[in-house]
């Protein structure tokens, strides 16, 4: 049993079809990606765009943003997103992905986008993260809306 806080945001449940459609994703592609471990909990959901250029995964976990910053320290920078501070992760081992990590009261939300149209290893961080701020803002606004 973990001493960590309970995860109170379930992306598959709390990010409705209209929210994901407004972010450019097809609600019909929604897949749960939950993971329960002894020391932490991650509730996740994945969507794809139509046509299938992007796949986005939203993970809500009781690991902290600071733990993720430490884990990936050489690949992260702090950025402002939707009035919050986020951690942008550009992992060279994932050359077609861009991820933002935002601290929450229960831990962190990680928003990871894969761009299937990027050339493996040939994309700049700017190319990998183009449009990501807008997508993250839509998701954070929905997350912070009264439920």
pLDDT tens profile 50-103? 887 899 999 999 988 999 999 988 999 999 988 888 999 998 888 889 999 999
- Are 98 and 76 a contacting pair, CB within 8 Å? no
CATH of the domain at 112: 3.40.1000
Average pLDDT value for residue range 115-128: 80
Handedness of CA 58, 56, 19, 129 (dihedral sign): positive
> Residue 136 falls within a domain, yes or no?
yes
Give residue 139's pLDDT band: very low, low, confident or very high (50, 70, 90): very high
Give residue 5's pLDDT band: very low, low, confident or very high (50, 70, 90): confident
pLDDT at residue 12 tops 90: yes
Q: State the greatest distance between any 2 C-alpha atoms of the chain, in Å, as a whole number.
A: 43
Counted domains in the chain: 1
Using alpha carbons, list the distances in angstroms from residue 18 to 21, 41, 47, 61, 127: 5, 26, 13, 23, 26
Confidence (pTM): 0.90
Q: What range does the domain containing 123 cover?
A: 11-144
């Amino acid at each position: 049993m973990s001493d960590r806080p309970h995860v109170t945001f379930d992306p598959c449940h709390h990010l409705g079809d209209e929210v994901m459609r407004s972010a450019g994703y097809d609600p019909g592609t929604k897949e749960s990606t939950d993971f329960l471990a002894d020391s932490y909990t991650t509730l996740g959901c994945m969507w794809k765009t139509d046509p299938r250029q992007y796949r986005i995964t939203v993970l809500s976990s009781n690991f902290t943003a600071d733990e993720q910053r430490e884990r990936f320290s050489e690949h992260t920078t702090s950025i402002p997103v939707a009035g919050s501070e986020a951690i942008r992760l550009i992992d060279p081992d994932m050359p077609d992905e861009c991820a933002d990590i935002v601290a929450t009261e229960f831990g962190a939300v990680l928003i990871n986008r894969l761009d299937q149209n990027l050339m493996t290893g040939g994309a700049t961080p700017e190319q990998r993260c183009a449009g990501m701020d807008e997508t993250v803002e839509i998701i954070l606004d929905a997350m912070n809306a009264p439920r």
